[in-house]
Homo-oligomer: A and B are copies of this chain.
Amino acid sequence: MFEIWRINVSSGELKREPLPDKYRYLGGRGITSSLVADEVPPTCDPLGPLNKLVLAPGLLGGTTAPSSGRLSAGAKSPLTGGIKEANGGGTAGHKLARLGIRALVFEGGFPDSGLYVIKITRDGVEFLPAGDLAGQTNYAVANTLRTIHGNHVAVVSVGPAGERGYANSTIAITNMEGAPSRHMARGGLGAVLASKGVKSIVIDDSGTKPIAVANPEEFHETVVEWTRKLVAAKRVLTELGTANLVLPMNSLGCLPTHNFRYGSFTNAEKVSGQELSRLIKQRGGKQGHACQPGCPIRCSNVYVDEQGEYITSGLEYETIGLLGPNCGLSSLDDIARLDRFCDEYGIDTMELGDTLAVCMEAGLLEFGDCEGVWKLVDEIKRNTVLGRTLGQGTAITGRVLGVRRVPVVKGQGISAYDPRALKGTGVTYATSPMGADHTAGNVLPGRGGFRPETRAGADPHKAQGQVEVSKDIQIMTAVCDITGQCFFVGANEEMVEYVARLLRALYGRALGKDDVLQLGRDVVRMEVSFNRSAGLSPAHDRLPEFFHSEPLPPYGLIFDVATEELHRFWEAM
């Protein structure tokens, strides 16, 4: 039923293969990572002809399972040099699944004929020259393509950042209103897609049928039960968005401020979820906005200016934390406009936030200097040498500018949680095959693992127990990434139970909680193994020196999980 579609970008050929048995229970990150691990030489140039870019909906993609429409992108990353998966919401995931495509693989070197747009329908693939779309920003690309191909299509695209090979570049996906505001953001995958000559992918699932389910009744009942629970449990996300975390993280002392110099921000109230929600309501934007069809959580929002004009959608906690406090900026309007710039150019807001703060640390501009930030943005727009340096991300920018406090792991900027005050997430940054990416396993306070010894979680300020809790949460997060579900459904045991029930009903096979966990475990293990062959050894499983030596105000914490324990992290799992 399901197929793998392989597009050789040099020859313009499509090969449709039935899904091999070994990939049967692998969707999303499960199949992107498997294909990369099986087919990409680990030491290859990430932007060369030997790398592959894989897009994949999750195992539950195309179904009515809650929040299951995320699309995964996978490749060897030009940012980390290791395997990378990034996923995003929007409408493309469900559509690819309904077309029966489990994985869409782009292979080969940049075509002689230049950039193109690929249109995917149930009949196959069309190659259309990108023409004027080359160099255009994501909103313009999405508007043009939706005008040509109809508002019912999903558009996946890279912005100028991807075309230029920036290691901070994203792949954008249109949301339900057609805005390219959902991004597979981390690890520079936009540059990989562009290195295959792909500017955009138009996905039209017209004429497709619903996904076949072995036991529809059982499936439906489970969906209804889980959805009802999520609506009740996730109210704070619906009401305040992910920005609800600003104040609790500030209290915990882990809100990155001034390039991770402080763990709390004087103006935290001004960039809080409460303030965001108030502004949105007052101006007539939208809170409780769903980024994908079938999401009961609806944590996204539509942010508008004082005149009610659209600025951006999905202003998220991590964007706020890293472009806001970490750069000393305290105006949500400023942050929203930077977010829009990032969405237009196809740039990871987190990576850019870290990068800009490193420029501030280097003395290029002051913390809080929003005008200076726009000057740097202009360097990026004009693709100057400074702009290109910033485009290569935080680690390279730190190298060029001679900064010693550079918050990166495996070349990737750390997300908006200071690892000294949220130590479990610090363990994830250090050890995840994905680099300093909280989406690989965010150990927020109160979260625990699936084993008796990890179930209670760990005190975020203490080293004890973090290694084991992070390991469990990384595995459970991988499960969400395999199903195509947003991890806001919960990287927890309840989620694993529901996933097992849904997969049983979908496939009509006996699958238990342990089987599901094993799927997650196997994928992470495969990714670690790829990284080892790519040259990311256990020595790379660590945090930068200053997190170990520089106490973080206000609690005076250092990151004190033993580095030796981190180096040994993947020996047993």
- The interface of chain A, by Cβ under 8 A from chain B, is 42-45, 47-48, 50, 164-165, 167, 385-386, 388-389, 392, 396, 399-402, 404, 532-537, 539-540, 542, 544-545, 563
Instruction: Find the residue from A47, A402, A404 having the highest chain B CB count within 10 A.
Output: A402
Indicate if the CB atoms of A45 and B539 lie closer than 8 Å. Answer: no
**Cα–Cα distance between A563 and B563 once the two chains are bound (Å):** 31
Q: How close is A10's CB to chain B, nearest CB, in angstroms?
A: 14
Known A396-B396, A533-B539; 12 more pairs at CB < 8 Å: A43-B539, A43-B563, A45-B404, A45-B544, A164-B402, A167-B399, A385-B385, A385-B389, A388-B401, A396-B399, A535-B536, A536-B537
Query: Do B388 and A392 touch across chains, with their CB atoms under 8 A apart?
Result: no
**A385 CA to B167 CA in the complex, in Å?**
18
Chain B's closest residue to A542 (CB) is: B43
A45 and B385 alpha carbons, distance in the complex (Å): 26
Closest to A166 in B: B402
In the bound assembly, the distance between CA atoms of A45 and B164 in angstroms comes to: 30
Among A43, A48, A167, A533, the one with the most B-chain Cβ atoms within 10 Å of its Cβ is A43
Task: Report the 7 A-B pairs with minimum CB-CB distance, sorted nearest first.
Answer: A535-B539, A537-B537, A165-B402, A385-B386, A45-B545, A535-B540, A389-B400
Copy count, this protein chain: 2
* Cβ contact within 8 Å between A385 and B404: no
Cα separation A390 to B537 with both chains bound (whole Å): 28
Which of chain B's residues has its CB closest to A539's CB?
A: B535
Known: A43-B542, A545-B45. A392 touches B399 (CB 8 A): yes
Write out the residue numbers on chain B whose beta carbons fall within 8 Å of the beta carbon of A50.
545
Task: Give chain B nearest CB distance to A158 CB in angstroms.
Answer: 14
Return A255 CB to nearest CB of chain B, in Å: 25
Instruction: Give the complex CA separation of A48 and B544 in angstroms.
Output: 11
Residues of chain B with a CB closer than 8 A to A399's CB: 167, 392, 396
Cα distance A466–B8 when bound, in Å?
36
Q: In the assembly, what is the distance between CA of A48 and CA of B545, in Å?
A: 9
21 contacts between A and B (CB under 8 A): A43-B563, A45-B404, A45-B544, A47-B404, A48-B545, A164-B402, A167-B399, A385-B385, A385-B389, A388-B401, A389-B389, A392-B399, A396-B399, A396-B400, A400-B400, A532-B537, A533-B539, A535-B536, A535-B537, A536-B537, A537-B537
Residues of the B chain whose Cβ atoms lie less than 8 Å from the Cβ of A542: 43
Alpha-carbon distance A539/B47, docked complex (angstroms) = 18
Question: How long is the Cα–Cα vector from A47 to B399 in the complex, in angstroms?
Answer: 11
Q: How far is the CA of A166 from the CA of B134 in the complex (A)?
A: 36
Name the contact of A539 in the complex, choosing from B396, B534, B563 (C-beta under 8 A). B534
A79 → chain B closest CB, angstroms:
10
- A110: nearest residue on chain B (CB-CB)? B404
Alpha-carbon distance between A440 and B402 when the two chains are bound, in angstroms:
28
